[in-house]
Amino acid sequence: MNAPDFPVSIDDHLAHIDHAFDLMALLDAGGQVLRVNAAAFDILGYAPCEMRGRHVREFVHPDDRAALEAIGLALRDVAACREQELRYLHRDGHVVYLAMSGRWSPDGQVLYATARDVTAHRLAREELAQSRARMNAMLESIGDAFFAVDRDWRVIYANRKAAHFVGVELGAGLGRPLLDVVPALEGTPLLERYRHAMATGLSFVVEAWWAPLATWIEVRAYPTVDGLSVYFHDISEQRQAAEAMRRSEQRFRILFQQAGDSILIVDGTLRVVAVNGRACANFGYAEHEFIGLPVSAIDSGFAYRPGLLDSLRRGETRLLRVVKRRKDGSTFPAEVHVSLFEDGGQEYFQAIVRDLTEREAAERQLRESERRFRELIEMTPSGYVRAGAGGVLLDANPSLCRLSGRTREALIGLPLVELFERLPWDGLEADGDGNTTVRGVEAVLRRADGEPLHVLFNGNVRRDDAGEPLLVTGLMIDISARKRAEDRLQQLATHDTLTGLPNRALLQDSVQRIMDAGAPAGGEGTELAVMFLDLDRFKEVNDSFGHELGDVLLCEVAARLRAVLGADDVIARLGGDEFVVAARCGRERAGALAARLLETLTAPVRVGSQDVIIGASIGIAMYPHDAGTRELLFQAADTAMYRAKSAGRNRLCFFERGMTVATQARMALELALRPALARGEFELHYQPRVDLRTMAVVGLEALLRWNHPRMGRVAPGEFIGIAEETGLIVPIGRWVLGEACRQTRRLVQEHGREVRVSVNVSARQLAQPGFVEDVRAELAASGLAPHCLELELTESALIEDMDRTAAMLGELQGLGVKVAVDDFGTGYSGLAYLRRFPIDVLKLDRSFVLQDDGRISAFDFVKAFVDMAHALRMSVVAEGVETAEVLDFLRAADCDEAQGYLLAQPMPLADVHALLARR
């Protein structure tokens, strides 16, 4: 029997659509809503009539509107889409996730769309993802290595420690059988324990030997419904410590019996409970006779003070001078170290008895030795000081008289506070016995003529219970010459050696201080003018008259600039013929000041036997109008200076916003730099480093080169700064490190000799948390011996975060990697960090070798510098050696190594192979 036909009207279809739970809509070709069902109110809060005639874009979240447009375009091509999830905005403003499906009708030029509310599902997925992320983070943060397998023994999770332990990449073993990931487990008792736990559901804890790493591990396994969870960690150190403790106890028993002194253990009733063999021999008792013997039987009338027990109970060890009695009645002087300890809740005394018969003879010899010591003190070139309570001088030698400019009679009785400007031991902590040891502390001595004298003090301070000095003894040597050299180093670090003007480092600090200080008292605001000044014809003078007269010209320019500027204005020389002026003033005064600078520089300058006129180009940038930071302010002034020079020279130019052509070129270079590493456009060249004693090649400095397919070879100076600023230096530096290690390893293998490769490390690389791990990984991957790698750091990189840097350099030295400071002396040149940081090599900038200032020759200065470095157990490498005279100079100064164009230019790897083969 056929089913009856039930005619369905259009109204029935519409009723069906209106009562549907999913949102259904009809849109025209432009995206206007033609019709929408009642579910729109339930899902989006709009009545159908409110949505009709409005564009669907109005209801979509602004961030998803572009995706909506893309779906609309795609529907024109494929006519249908399914489950496209977008964010919509409910009428009350909250976000609703809808999974939209649609079909385009070319005939009717309309879009049939349905949308299902998936907000709850989406939120559930996100919560699940967050839960998994929290679980993963927890498993990564635990101290143990962890992995889990399912019932089919496939790895379903492993944290980083577990992956590292078995030598696989994190995540590489997921989904694979356990024995495929860790084949070393096959046939081990540990695997059998895993299988037993899985089969029985019983957890276990076991200590096991892991042969691949030759280490002991503690393993805890917990069966679950899904499989097995395993936690483990290395316990080799604990087992070694336990074994060491057992051996220590055994050694203690042996030492107790074989000690050179008599040792007695006495209980609280002062009866002997244990003795060693030496005590039996010294006192003449057999061991069984000694046990139970009262202490009074071996003491010859010694009276124990009431406070002795109290001091022992405070943990003090007391030293007693006692006359001891042997079994035969004879006596001997003894020194007894007495201490108290507890065992099983009972107090026991340990007495270490030393026969002083031989010491008395030694004391007589000591008195003779003290006489000889006095003679030595009188003859030593070091000043000797001995002071008693209250810091009053008790003794002094002729050298102290010479250093202080006083007679011995004037020194005896003089308080130390009058001899020193500050006592060298002030602020130093005392040890447990109340003593303070002073080693290598700098102090200032007051001479009789009032002149200060820098000395290096070594000594000892013995204090009373209140911490006041009871006895001070020490020696001191004159270090005035060294202090002058250090002052000279500081001067060189912050000032130009030719003109005496501040250098870049001091300029940057001065400008930053002005910017940070804000408005002066009573002022309305801080305005700062920075002027970059470049001499227009300096190169012509240099080429015509030579560098020596060029230096004379620069000094004259510096003097003229100083004469124009005020006391509060800052002037610095950046190098070459570039000067910078910083003045706290507004735009009008800045223009007037720059005009006076131009005027003074256009006056003729006598160079040799001839007057020359040089002129200058000045670029001016105003803070805060043109830039808000020091770096941008300098950049703006530099840009304005180049505009002044290109406009005809001998003029000034204020910075304007339109001066961005150079900036655009830089941005283009940055854009080309970003994919350069992925495209393999970098290569390494190497500049050999020579041992100045043997003239053999002992090292190579790795130098980065960029070969762009269109621009050709791009100079490092053009792109290294960009890489630093953008952070690209981190992946590029990692590539340089790995490539240098691999290529150097091949050089060592092929030529059968060790060479050390120096790799420059930027401050941004050093700031990366995983930098030490990167170095360790590259060394392991390349097989290069750690001592064949030297990392070159700048001084500024060292001092950015000194505590963190010191710790990181300590880790690197622990790996065996050498650490060098590049271009020493051109940055901050703080001598303190030479002792604070574990540094192996100082690379001396060429400017220190070439300059004499009349007070100290270049040779004396470099020689002092090299000697200081050697005293700190550092080697010195001179850079930029270009003449034979400089090479001879450095060898005479005991410099260790050198590099420069005289010895070898940077070269590609193939040329390095050829060079090593020839040598």
Q: Which amino acid is at 764?
A: R
8 A C-beta contact, residue 613 and residue 604: yes
Cβ-count burial 587-598 (b if 16+ within 10 Å, e if not): eeebeebbeebb
Q: Give pLDDT, residue 877.
A: 94
Other C-beta atoms lying within 10 Å of the C-beta of residue 874: 19
Q: What's the average model confidence in pLDDT over 859-878?
A: 87
Q: Is residue 460 packed enough to be buried (19+ CB in 10 Å), middle (13-18) or exposed (0-12)?
A: middle
Taking only Cα atoms into account, the Rg of the chain, rounded to an integer number of angstroms, comes to 42
Given pLDDT bands bounded at 50, 70 and 90, which one contains residue 142?
low
Residues 6+ apart with CB under 8 A from 350: 263, 264, 265, 266, 338, 339, 340, 341
Altogether, the residues listed in the chain come to a count of: 919
What is the pLDDT averaged over residues 65-74?
82
Give the pLDDT band (50/70/90) at residue 660. low
Helix or strand holding residue 202 (H, E): none
By the 8 A CB rule, do 561 and 597 touch?
yes
Q: What is the rounded CA–CA span in Å between residue 809 and residue 800?
A: 13
Q: How far is CA 742 from CA 12, 748, 819, in A?
A: 78, 10, 19
The conformation of residue 60, written as its DSSP 8-state character, comes to B
Range in 10-14, 274-278, 897-901 the model is least confident about: 10-14
Which tokens in the block code for residue 712?
């050709």
Max Cα separation, the chain?
142
Helix (H, G, I), strand (E, B) or coil at 755: coil
Question: Hey, what are 258's tokens?
Answer: 């074989």
3-state helix, strand, coil in the chain (%, to 5): 45, 30, 30
Residue 485: which pLDDT band, with cuts at 50, 70 and 90?
A: confident
Higher pLDDT, 662 or 371: 371
Selected residue with higher pLDDT from 760 and 358: 760
Calculate the alpha carbon distances from 559 to 19, 354, 553, 573 in Å.
93, 78, 10, 12
Count CB-CB contacts under 10 A for residue 448: 12
Share of the chain above pLDDT 90, in %: 26
Pairing state between β 616-623 and 652-654: parallel
pLDDT digits (tens, 9 = 90+) for 200-244: 999 999 989 988 888 999 999 999 888 999 999 888 888 887 777
Virtual CA dihedral for 53, 58, 59, 65, nearest 10 degrees? Answer: 130
Q: Do residues 841 and 760 make contact, with C-beta atoms less than 8 angstroms apart? A: no
CA angle 377, 379, 382 (to 5 degrees): 65
Nearest to 627 by CA among 724, 507, 503, 512: 512
Q: What residue type is 442 in one-letter code?
A: E
> Per-residue confidence at 856, pLDDT binned at 50, 70, 90?
low
Provide the pLDDT confidence category of residue 133 given band limits of 50, 70 and 90.
Answer: low
- pLDDT score for 448: 87
Mean pLDDT over each residue of the chain, to the nearest integer:
84
Report the run of H or E that residue 581 belongs to, with start and end: strand 578-583
pLDDT at 417: 86
DSSP state for residue 565 in the 8-state scheme: S
Q: Which residue has the higher pLDDT, 12 or 528?
A: 528
- Segment 264-273 shows an average pLDDT of 89
User: Rounded CA gap, 862 and 849, in Å?
Assistant: 7
Question: Who has greater pLDDT, 487 or 50?
Answer: 50
- Dist. CA 399–CA 395, nearest whole Å: 12
pLDDT digits (tens, 9 = 90+) for 558-582: 899 999 888 889 999 988 889 999 9
| pLDDT greater than 90 at residue 77 | no
Asked if 697 contacts 689 with a C-beta cutoff of 8 angstroms, the reply is yes
Looking at the DSSP bridge assignments, the partners of residue 844 are 824, 878
Query: Which backbone phi and psi does 848 adopt, to 5 degrees?
Result: -75, -25
Separation between Cα atoms, residue 861 and residue 850, nearest integer Å: 11
Beta strand 262-267 with 155-158 is unpaired
Question: What are the structure tokens assigned to 237, written together?
Answer: 């150190």
Question: In the prediction, which pLDDT does 135 show?
Answer: 63
Q: Which of these ranges, 38-42, 71-75, 278-282, 862-866, has the smallest mean pLDDT?
A: 71-75
With pLDDT > 70 as the criterion, what percentage of the chain qualifies?
90
683, containing H or E segment: strand 682-691
pLDDT at 1 over 50: no
Tell me the mean pLDDT in the region 538-546: 74
pLDDT at 461: 86
**What tens digit of pLDDT does each residue of 721-755 get?**
888 878 899 999 999 999 999 999 999 999 999 99
Sequence-separated (6 or more) residues with CB below 8 Å from residue 724: 762, 763, 764
Segment 672-726, tens digit of pLDDT:
899 999 999 999 999 999 999 999 999 999 999 999 998 889 988 888 888 887 8
Of 262, 173, 166, residue with least CA distance to 215: 166
pLDDT tens track for 288-312: 998 999 988 888 777 777 788 888 8
Q: Give the residue-averaged pLDDT of 410-425.
A: 85
Spatial distance between the Cα atoms of 43 and 583, rounded to a whole number of angstroms = 66
Q: Please state at what angle helix 716-726 crosses helix 729-751, rounded to 10 degrees.
A: 120
Higher pLDDT, 661 or 373: 373
Q: Which among 46, 21, 24 has a CA at the least distance from the CA of 35?
A: 24
- Residue 686: both structure tokens together: 């190497």
Q: Can you give the pLDDT at residue 521?
A: 46
Cα torsion for 294, 298, 302, 304, to the nearest 10°? Answer: -30
Token readout for 660 is: 């961005």
Report how far apart the first and last C-alpha atoms of the chain are (Å, whole number): 107
CA dist 437 → 378, 383, 415, 460 (Å): 23, 17, 20, 5
Q: What is the mean pLDDT of residues 467-486?
A: 84
- Positive or negative torsion for Cα 91, 94, 100, 105: positive
Q: Do 458 and 438 touch, CB atoms closer than 8 A? A: yes
Mean pLDDT, residues 832-840 taken together: 77
Angle 381-386-392 (CA atoms, 0-180°, nearest 5)? 130
Give how far Cα 778 sits from Cα of 169, 699, 908, Å: 15, 19, 21
Residue 74 predicted with pLDDT over 80: no
Residue at token pair 């996730």 = 97
